[in-house]
Chain A
Amino acid sequence: MPRRASRELDQLIAQRERSRGLLIAFEGPDGSGKTTQRKLLKRWLESQDHNVVSTRWASSSLVKPLLKVRKKIRTLSTEEYSLLHAVDFRHRLESTILPALWAGKTVLADRYLFTALARDAARGLDLDWLLNAYAPLLWPDLVLYFSMSPERSRRRVASTRSPHFYEAGQDVTGIDDPLASYSQFIDRVVKEYNNLSVVFQFVTVDAGEAVYRQHTQVREFVERATKRPWPTFSEDAVKEWLIKANIRDA
C-alpha cells in the first residue's frame, strides 16, 4: 500500500475511534448460558437507546449452507472444518461486524474467533496456524467468558439434547457415543479456553451463578468497559476492510 494512502487510512481510523461502536464477545463452553446473557444484554442496551447488532457463530448467509451440509454428512477433516469456520468468520467480519461498528452500533458476538481457537486447538491443530488463519485480528473491546467446569457443561448439554458429531468431537475422539465423546472433548476445549482467557484478557463470569446475577455482573462489566483502541490493536484488520469497502471519509 502506498505510504500516503496508508497515512490517510490511519487518520480515518483515528477520527472514527470515538464514535465507533463497541464490540463485545460472548465465549464459553456449550451450555454455559452465553446466548441467554447475550439476549438479556441486548434488550438492556436497547432500552438505553443503543443501536445493537447481534451475530452468531457459523451464521454467515454465504457459508452456513455449505457448512450445514458437510457437517450433516460428516465429511469434514479437521483442517476443512477449521478453514470453513474461518471463511464464515471473515465474511461476517467484513459484511456485518465492521460495518456496524463503523456506523456506531454495538456488536454482540455470540462466540467470536476464540471459539475456533479453543475447539480447533482441542482438535490438535497448531495455535500459531489458527491465529494466522484468523489474521489480521479485530480485537473485541470486551470478551465475556462464561466459565464452567467440563463436567457441568456435559450435564447441561445432556439434559437438553444429544450433541451432534462435531460438537461432541467425535471426529477426533473416535468414540461412538456422542455424550462420552463430548465429555472427553469438552475437557480439552475448557483447558484451551482457560489458556486463551489469560492471553486475551477475558473477563470471567461464573456460569454457575443464577441468570439474574450473571446479568447484573455483565451490565457492570459493560458499563465499565473501555475501548481497545483500533490504531493499537486492530489497525490492519480495519484498514483492509476500509480498502475493500472503499470507505474514504469518517
Chain B
Amino acid sequence: MADQGEYPGRLIAIDGTRGKDVIAAADALVASLKERQLECAISRFDASGLFGELSATGRGVHELSARTLALVYAADLAFRLRWEIRPVLEAGGLVIAAPHIDSVIAIGSAHGLDEEWIRRLLRFAPKPHFRATAEEKKPGKGWKAAVDRGYGECSAAMLASMTGKASRRARKEAIAMLRRPRGPKVYRLADDDVAHLAKAVIGSLLAARSRSASTPRSGRR
C-alpha cells in the first residue's frame, strides 16, 4: 500500500494553507526551472474535479466534516498520482505536487483530526524528494472561502459550522503546524528560496541521471 517506488524523476511538494500562495509558488518555481532549461509539470488541487462536483450538488455540501473532506482529498490525490504525478516520475521528469500531503495534515489537524490518521490514510502517496511551503505569515487579507482555490479555502467553504472566528483560529493553527520543524530541509518559498530550491532540484536530477547511466546492468559487468 505504501509507495516505496524508486522513481528516476523528482517530486517536489509545495504545501500551504492558502491555495493562491501554493499555486503562485509553484508557478514561480516552474519559471525558475525554465530559465535553467528544465521543464516541470504541476499537479494542482482538485484535478479530479471531485470537490467542484461536490459543491455543484449543493445540498448538504456546507455541512461536511473535516474527516469527510480529508477522504475526498485522498481520492483526489489518488487521481492526481495516477494521471499526473507517477507518469512523470516514471519518465524521469520533474513534477510539483501543489499541494501534496502537508497541507491536508495541517488543515485537518487544525480541525481536530488525528495527525496519524491522516498520515496513514495518505500513505499511498510517494515521499517527495523536496518539500517546500508557501506560507501565509498570519491569516491576512485576500482570503476567501471558495471551493476552487485550494484545500484551505475549500475546507472553509465546506466544513460544517465554520464561523469566521472558528475559521480564523483553524487557519492560525494550520499555519503554525506548517511552520513546525518537519524533518529534512523544507524550503520556505515566501523568501528567495525559489532559486535555491531550483538549484537543488537540478543538482539532484543530474545526480540521479548520472547514477542511473553508470549503474551496471547486471552483476557481471
Contacts and interface: CB of A to CB of B under 8 A. Distances in A.
A244 B75 contact: no
Interface stretch (B15-23, B101-109, B115-123, B180-188): B115-123
A153 to B, nearest CB: 27
A214 B53 CA distance: 42
A125 B74 CA distance: 15
Contact of B60 (A83, A95, A240): A95
Most buried by B among A87, A95, A133: A87
A62 interface: yes
B120 A129 contact: yes
Interface in B1-44: 1
Given A1-B112, A62-B54, A132-B121, A91 B74 contact: no
B78 to A, nearest CB: 4
Contacts, number: 74
Interface stretch (B63-71, B147-155, B205-213): B63-71
Contact of A79 (B59, B117, B124): B124
A65 B50 CA distance: 11
Contact of B57 (A61, A79, A83): A61
A137 to B, nearest CB: 12
B75 A90 contact: no
A94 B72 CA distance: 15
B198 to A, nearest CB: 31
Nearest to A95: B60
Interface string A211-250: 0000000000000000000000000000010011110000
A244 B60 contact: no
Contact of A62 (B60, B78, B112, B124): B60
A52 B198 CA distance: 61
B109 to A, nearest CB: 13
Contacts of A135: 117
A244 B160 contact: yes
18 contacts: A77-B78, A77-B82, A80-B48, A80-B78, A83-B71, A83-B78, A84-B75, A86-B71, A87-B68, A91-B64, A91-B68, A94-B65, A132-B117, A132-B120, A133-B121, A135-B117, A244-B65, A244-B160
